[in-house]
């Protein structure tokens, strides 16, 4: 890499852009912080994408969108035919999330490229900043939708058939949003990227507690998500006597506690399980629930242990279904393997930290990220920065401008080293 001068990150501009993006939200501002709701392919999401494309064009980057809405901002290298070095993340946000999850990797990636351009760096390989569609599972029930299809980990037809809460398919929603091409055109081969690095807030408190400004991710935990539908028999809340009831919500409550219990007794603190949504039908105070649909998120760095927990949950479900005269139907949305980052990329980040003069610590990511699927296309690793109290997916999620700037500087140094 020939970099005429030192790489300098414009921290003030980056903070201002993060704040501007946070203002493109469907959530009411909350006293505790900047609540962001930005669901994939909603008005707000499209507005944020348009805003970002303008910024990228102003930075002199090429802009390309694929049929699922993954957006590629490219800085051509001296040898454009070579596989590019990739970085990026997401800007969609679950309801009432914070303003840093994902956005630090997208806007930090843009600022890293701008800083490299300002430094006069002439890099052999192109650098491509990627904005992934729907990293969050909120609308279509599966996380990392855009990177899964890009990496060929989800078949185009299966993706297009996914439905949102209103019963609208991905195919219909993405077409309406302006992404109408065949999903079969999205997947790319292993020769697209020579390396991949994502910058993200830790969404945990290890870095803050250790007082270390940079985490280098060596492994990404294996996520899985399931739907459980419990069918009982509804009826009048007054007239239906207790011994005659087959109450779907009481059965669901028992299943929810069984899921918590099995995760707690997996034998490892690396097993986590969450029942994040519970839809009750018909949902009237004076009507015995006849159907309940749960969405369950189970993770572990060891997929076999995660599967043992699910086997135990299935045993519990069969038992309670028998005892309560209800049926329990399970739907596997995704059950992914963990990602093991590339030692070469981990080392490249470590060297970038040395050049930047900052301490770093290796760590596991307990949250999943698009990098989990980019690992199927290229050698990958991630750069984490601390977030206050480890809080995330809440309006009071917070990362300091200083940590964001240092993470962006390390990303720029890493990209330059990998693209030289």
**Site residues for Mn ion, window 62-121 (CB under 5 A)?**
101-102
Q: Which is nearer to ligand HGY, 294 or 320 (CB)?
A: 294
Of the residues 17, 128, 136, 370, which one makes contact with ligand HGY according to CB under 6 A: 136
Q: Which is nearer to ligand HGY, 316 or 370 (CB)?
A: 370
**Site residues for ligand HGY, window 281-320 (CB under 6 A)?**
none
> How near is the Cβ of 101 to ligand HGY at its closest, in Å?
6
**Could you say whether residue 98 binds ligand HGY (CB under 6 A)?**
no
**Could you say whether residue 143 binds ligand HGY (CB under 6 A)?**
yes
Q: Which is nearer to ligand HGY, 62 or 276 (CB)?
A: 276
> How near is the Cβ of 393 to ligand HGY at its closest, in Å?
7
Of the residues 216, 309, 367, 399, which one makes contact with ligand HGY according to CB under 6 A: 367
> How near is the Cβ of 101 to Mn ion at its closest, in Å?
4
Measure the CA–CA gap between 13 and 214, rounded to whole angstroms. Answer: 21
Of the residues 96, 368, 373, 384, which one makes contact with ligand HGY according to CB under 6 A: 368
Selection from ligand HGY, Mn ion, none that 105 binds (CB < 5 to 8 A by kind) is none
Selection from Mn ion, ligand HGY, none that 368 binds (CB < 5 to 8 A by kind) is ligand HGY
**Could you say whether residue 66 binds ligand HGY (CB under 6 A)?**
no
Of the candidate spans 135-143, 237-245, 257-265, 278-286, the one that interacts with ligand HGY by CB under 6 A turns out to be: 135-143
Selection from ligand HGY, Mn ion, none that 143 binds (CB < 5 to 8 A by kind) is ligand HGY
**Could you say whether residue 135 binds ligand HGY (CB under 6 A)?**
yes
Which residues contribute to the site for ligand HGY (CB under 6 A)? 101, 135-136, 143, 367-368
Which residues contribute to the site for Mn ion (CB under 5 A)? 101-102
């Amino acid at each position: 890499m020939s970099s005429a001068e030192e790489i300098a990150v414009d921290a003030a501009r980056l903070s201002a852009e993060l704040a501007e993006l946070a203002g493109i939200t469907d959530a009411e501002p909350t006293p505790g912080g900047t609540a962001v709701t930005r669901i994939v392919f909603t008005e707000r999401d499209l507005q944020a994408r348009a805003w970002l494309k303008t910024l990228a064009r102003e930075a002199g980057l090429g802009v390309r969108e694929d049929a699922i809405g993954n957006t590629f901002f490219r800085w051509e290298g001296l040898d454009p035919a070579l596989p590019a070095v990739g970085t990026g993340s997401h800007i969609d946000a679950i309801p009432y999330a914070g303003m840093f999850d994902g956005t630090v990797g997208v806007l930090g990636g843009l600022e890293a490229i701008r800083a490299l351009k300002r430094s006069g760096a002439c890099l052999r390989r192109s650098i491509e900043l990627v904005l992934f569609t729907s990293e969050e599972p909120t609308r279509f029930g599966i996380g990392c939708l855009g990177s899964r299809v890009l990496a060929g980990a989800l078949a185009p037809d299966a993706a297009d058939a996914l439905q949102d809460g209103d019963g609208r398919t991905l195919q219909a929603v993405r077409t309406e949003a302006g992404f109408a091409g065949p999903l079969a055109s999205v997947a790319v081969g292993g020769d697209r990227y020579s390396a991949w690095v994502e910058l993200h807030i830790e969404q945990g408190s290890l870095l803050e507690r250790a007082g270390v400004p940079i985490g280098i991710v060596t492994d990404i935990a294996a996520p899985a998500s399931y739907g459980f539908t419990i069918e009982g028999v509804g009826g009048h809340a007054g007239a239906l006597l207790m011994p005659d009831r087959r109450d779907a919500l009481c059965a669901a409550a028992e299943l929810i506690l069984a899921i918590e219990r099995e995760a707690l007794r997996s034998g490892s603190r690396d097993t986590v399980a969450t029942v994040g949504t519970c839809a009750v039908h018909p949902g009237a105070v004076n009507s015995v629930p006849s159907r309940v649909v749960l969405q369950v998120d189970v993770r572990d760095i060891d997929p076999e242990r995660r599967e043992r927990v699910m086997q135990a949950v299935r045993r519990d479900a069969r038992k309670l279904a028998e005892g309560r005269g209800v049926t329990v139907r399970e739907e596997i949305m995704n059950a992914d393997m963990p990602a093991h980052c590339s030692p070469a990329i981990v080392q490249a980040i470590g060297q970038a930290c040395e050049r930047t003069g900052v301490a770093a610590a290796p760590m596991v990511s307990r949250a999943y990220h698009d990098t989990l699927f980019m690992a199927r296309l290229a050698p990958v690793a991630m750069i984490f920065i601390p977030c206050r109290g480890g809080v995330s997916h809440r309006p009071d999620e917070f990362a300091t401008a200083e940590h964001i700037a240092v993470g962006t500087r390390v990303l720029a140094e890493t990209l330059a080293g990998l693209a030289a």
